[in-house]
C-alpha cells in the first residue's frame, strides 16, 4: 500500500518536471531578434567663411625703450662742490641750461683777475715798444740811413710784445671758461639716470658727475628676421644714398597699471649687419615726446626701460584672405568645407604668418568656408556637420 501511494505521488511530479525541461529546451532553441546597428553621425565642426579684401601687412616684434641721447656729465675743472640743484637727483627732470651743481669758483675768480692783470701789463709793454720803435725809425731817418735792421728798428721787440699780449688775452679767455665751467649746466631737457657725486665732495678734472639722458625722443631697438624685411620699407641705408626723412610707421603698446597704452613712432634706421647665425637685423623705432611734455593726452610716459610690443606697418595688399591658423592641415594646405559639407584639401599661397592667422593671396575663393575644429582624422571628401561662424579679412594684419 505504501508503495502504491508513493508511486501515485511521484508520477505527476515526474510529468511536471519533464514538461518544464522540454519547455526550457524549446525556449533556448528560439532565434534571437535581429539587433539594429547604431547610426554613425558625421562629426560636428565649426567653419569660418572667408572674404577677400585689402590687407595691410604688419611685422610684429618687441623691445625695450632706451634714450636716443644719453650723456655722462664730467667735471671740466677741479674743486669742491658747493651747490647742488634740487633736480640733481636720481630720476629727477631738468630743463636745458639749468645749473645742476656748482664747484667752488673762488680760485678761478682769482685766476681770472690775475690773467686780466697780465693783459694790462702786456698792453703797457706793447705800447712802450711801439713808442720806442717810432723813435728808432725817426732817428734812423734823421741820420739819413736807408733800410736798417729789424732789431735796430725795434720791430722784433714790438712783435714779441704783441705776441705776449695775445697770449695774455688767451689766458683771460681760458680763465673765463674755467670760471664758467664751475657751474655744471644741463645740455638739454632731460632726466638724471644716476647721480655720482654730491654736495661737499671734491672732484678732479674729468671725474664723472652724473649720467643723464634727453627726454625729447626715445628709441626702441627691434629685432626683425631677415625674411620679414620684404614686408615693409626698411631704411637700409648705403653709402652715398639719400637720407630718408620718414620711415614706416610703428605702433608700440605696453601694459602699465593694468591698462594697455599705445604710442606711435617711425622706423628711422637699422643697426649693424644681419646676424649670420640668427639671420636677424635690428631696426630702430623713434618716438617723439615720450614723456608727454606737450600735454597732448593723459597717457603715462613711455619711460626708459619699458618693455613694448611693436607692430611695424608693412605693405598693403589689394586682395588677400586672413585665414585662421586652425584651418591649416600643413604649411600650405587649407581644409575647405564645400557646399555638400565635405572636406577638401586646398593648396594656397601663403604671404605671411602671424601669431593667430595667416595671410593668403591665392588658392581660395571668396565666400568659401574653412574648417577650424580640431579632428583626429581628416580625409578628402569626409562628410561633416557644420556650425557656421562668419568672418572676413581685416586690415592691419
Burial of 397 (0-12, 13-18, 19+ CB in 10 A): buried
Largest Cα span, the chain: 204
Q: How far apart are CA 102 and CA 88, in angstroms?
A: 11
Does residue 229 belong to any structural domain of this protein? Answer: yes
Question: What's the chain's average pLDDT?
Answer: 85
Listed in sequence order, the DSSP H helices in the chain are 2-29, 106-142, 155-181
Contacts of 94 (CB under 8 A, 6+ apart): 85, 87, 88, 100, 186, 189, 190, 191, 192, 212
pTM for the full predicted model: 0.73
Q: Is the pLDDT of residue 292 over 80?
A: yes
Same domain, 221 and 289: yes
Does residue 340 belong to any structural domain of this protein? Answer: yes
Does residue 30 belong to any structural domain of this protein? Answer: no
pLDDT at position 7, please? Answer: 46
Same domain, 78 and 210: yes
pLDDT at position 393, please? Answer: 45
Question: Which H or E run includes 191?
Answer: strand 190-195
Q: What are phi and psi of 184, to 5 degrees?
A: -85, 115
Tell me the torsion sign for CA atoms 16, 17, 18, 20. positive
Q: Is the pLDDT of residue 49 over 70?
A: yes
Same domain, 295 and 220: yes
> Which of 14-28, 128-142, 165-179, 265-279 tops mean pLDDT?
165-179
Residue 381, domain CATH = 2.40.420.20
Question: Which H or E run includes 285?
Answer: strand 280-288
Confidence of residue 66 (pLDDT cuts 50, 70, 90): very high
For the chain, the C-alpha Rg in angstroms (whole number) is 47
The C-alpha torsion from 306 through 310 and 312 to 318, rounded to 10°, is -150
Same domain, 209 and 219: no
Q: Which domain holds residue 275?
A: 60-67+215-315
Q: Is the pLDDT of residue 304 over 90?
A: yes
pLDDT at position 134, please? Answer: 76
Same domain, 222 and 308: yes
pLDDT at position 392, please? Answer: 47
The C-alpha torsion from 311 through 316 and 319 to 320, rounded to 10°, is -30
Same domain, 207 and 263: no
Which has more pLDDT, 20 or 59? Answer: 59
Domain endpoint, select from 315, 345, 376? 315
Domain endpoint, select from 214, 232, 264? 214
Does residue 231 belong to any structural domain of this protein? Answer: yes
Does residue 310 belong to any structural domain of this protein? Answer: yes
Q: How far apart are CA 99 and CA 197, in angstroms?
A: 15
Does residue 240 belong to any structural domain of this protein? Answer: yes
Same domain, 78 and 202: yes
Least confident of 34-43, 123-132, 184-193, 326-335: 34-43
Does residue 122 belong to any structural domain of this protein? Answer: yes
Confidence of residue 274 (pLDDT cuts 50, 70, 90): confident
Residues 337, 343, 349: CA angle, nearest 5 degrees? 75
Same domain, 224 and 303: yes
Least confident of 193-197, 231-235, 291-295, 340-344: 291-295
Least confident of 34-38, 162-166, 387-391: 387-391
Residue 290, domain CATH = 2.40.30.170
Same domain, 84 and 127: no
DSSP letter assigned to residue 223: E
DSSP letter assigned to residue 383: B
- For every residue of 76-141, DSSP letters joined together read SS-EEEEEE-TT-STT-EE-TT-EEEEE--HHHHHHHHHHHHHHHHHHHHHHHHHHHHHHHHHHHH
Burial of 213 (0-12, 13-18, 19+ CB in 10 A): middle
pLDDT at position 64, please? Answer: 97
Does residue 5 belong to any structural domain of this protein? Answer: no
Same domain, 140 and 254: no
Same domain, 223 and 293: yes
pLDDT at position 10, please? Answer: 54
pLDDT at position 1, please? Answer: 46
**Residue where the block lists cell 531578434:** 33
How many CB atoms lie under 10 A from the CB of residue 319? 12
Task: Tell me how many domains the chain contains.
Answer: 4
Same domain, 342 and 383: yes
**What mean pLDDT do residues 340-350 have?**
92
Amino acid at each position: 500500500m505504501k508503495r502504491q501511494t508513493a508511486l501515485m505521488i511521484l508520477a505527476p511530479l515526474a510529468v511536471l518536471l519533464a514538461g518544464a525541461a522540454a519547455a526550457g529546451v524549446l525556449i533556448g532553441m528560439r532565434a534571437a531578434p535581429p539587433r539594429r546597428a547604431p547610426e554613425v553621425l558625421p562629426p560636428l565642426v565649426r567653419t569660418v567663411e572667408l572674404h577677400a579684401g585689402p590687407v595691410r601687412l604688419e611685422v610684429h616684434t618687441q623691445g625695450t625703450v632706451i634714450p636716443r641721447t644719453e650723456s655722462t656729465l664730467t667735471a671740466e675743472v677741479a674743486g669742491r662742490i658747493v651747490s647742488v640743484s634740487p633736480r640733481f637727483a636720481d630720476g629727477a627732470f631738468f630743463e636745458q641750461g639749468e645749473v645742476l651743481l656748482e664747484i667752488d669758483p673762488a680760485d678761478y675768480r682769482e685766476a681770472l683777475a690775475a690773467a686780466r692783470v697780465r693783459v694790462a701789463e702786456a698792453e703797457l709793454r706793447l705800447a712802450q715798444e711801439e713808442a720806442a720803435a717810432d723813435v728808432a725809425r725817426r732817428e734812423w731817418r734823421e741820420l739819413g740811413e736807408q733800410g736798417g735792421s729789424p732789431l735796430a728798428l725795434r720791430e722784433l721787440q714790438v712783435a714779441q710784445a704783441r705776441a705776449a699780449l695775445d697770449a695774455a688775452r688767451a689766458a683771460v679767455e681760458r680763465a673765463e671758461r674755467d670760471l664758467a665751467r664751475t657751474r655744471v649746466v644741463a645740455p638739454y631737457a632731460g632726466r638724471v639716470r644716476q647721480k655720482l657725486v654730491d654736495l661737499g665732495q671734491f672732484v678732479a678734472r674729468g671725474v664723472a658727475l652724473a649720467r643723464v639722458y634727453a627726454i625729447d625722443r626715445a628709441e626702441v631697438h627691434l629685432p626683425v628676421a631677415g625674411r620679414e624685411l620684404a614686408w615693409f620699407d626698411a631704411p637700409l641705408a648705403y653709402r652715398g644714398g639719400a637720407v630718408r626723412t620718414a620711415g614706416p610707421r610703428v605702433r608700440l603698446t605696453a601694459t602699465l597699471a593694468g591698462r594697455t597704452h599705445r604710442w606711435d613712432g617711425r622706423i628711422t634706421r637699422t643697426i649693424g649687419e644681419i646676424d649670420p647665425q640668427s639671420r636677424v637685423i635690428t631696426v630702430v623705432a623713434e618716438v617723439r615726446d615720450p614723456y608727454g611734455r606737450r600735454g597732448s593726452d593723459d597717457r603715462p610716459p613711455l619711460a626708459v626701460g619699458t618693455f613694448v610690443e611693436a607692430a611695424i606697418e608693412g605693405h598693403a595688399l589689394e586682395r588677400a584672405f586672413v585665414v585662421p591658423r586652425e584651418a591649416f592641415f600643413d604649411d600650405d594646405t587649407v581644409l575647405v568645407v564645400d557646399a555638400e559639407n565635405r572636406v577638401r584639401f586646398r593648396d594656397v599661397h601663403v604671404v605671411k604668418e602671424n601669431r593667430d592667422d595667416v595671410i593668403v593671396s591665392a588658392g581660395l575663393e571668396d565666400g568659401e568656408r574653412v574648417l577650424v575644429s580640431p579632428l583626429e582624422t581628416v580625409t578628402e571628401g569626409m562628410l561633416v556637420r557644420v556650425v557656421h561662424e562668419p568672418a572676413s579679412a581685416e586690415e592691419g594684419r
